[in-house]
Amino acid sequence: MRNRSWWVPILASFLLCGSPALATPPGDDCEVYGDVTAVPNPDDPALGTWKYCLEASWHIDPPFELSEIYLVLGLAGCECVCEEFPFAAQDSAGYSTGIDGQWNPCTVYYGAEFLCEGDPAVEIDEPLVRFTPLGVDCWPEVSGTGVFCFYSDWAPIPVPEENAYVVTRATDVVCTGEVTGVLPECDCGTSPAQEDSWGAIKARFRE
Answer yes or no: is 11 within a domain. Answer: no
Pairing of strands 105-115, 173-177: unpaired
User: Could you read off the pLDDT of 96-122 as tens digits, one per residue?
Assistant: 999 998 999 999 999 999 999 999 999
Give the whole-angstrom CA distance, residue 150 versus residue 53: 7
Residue 4 within any structural domain of the chain: no
Give residue-wise pLDDT tens across range 163-199: 999 999 998 899 999 999 999 999 997 644 334 444 4
102, part of any domain: yes
Give the C-alpha separation, 149 to 31, whole Å: 21
d(CA 130, CA 163): 17
* Residue 135 is assigned to a structural domain of this protein: yes
> Are the C-beta atoms of 164 and 174 separated by less than 8 Å?
no
25-70 pLDDT, tens digit per residue, is 334 589 999 999 999 999 999 999 999 999 999 999 888 889 999 9
Q: Is residue 9 part of a domain?
A: no
- Give the span between the Cα atoms of 126 and 119, in whole angstroms: 8
Residues contacting 1, CB < 8 A, separation 6+:
63, 64, 65, 67, 170, 171
Domain count, the chain: 1
**CA–CA distance, 48 with 51 (Å, rounded to integer):** 7
- The CA distance from 195 to 190, in Å, is 7
Pick the closest to residue 49 from 152, 157, 156 (CA basis).
152
Q: Look at residue 192 and tell me if it is in a domain.
A: yes
Residue 32 lies in a domain: yes
Here the CATH number for the domain that contains residue 60 is 2.60.40
Q: Is residue 20 part of a domain?
A: no
* Domain encompassing residue 126: 25-206
Question: Phi/psi of residue 199, each to 5°?
Answer: -65, -40
Q: Sign of dihedral through CA atoms 113, 119, 124, 125? A: positive
Is-above-0.85 flag for pTM? no
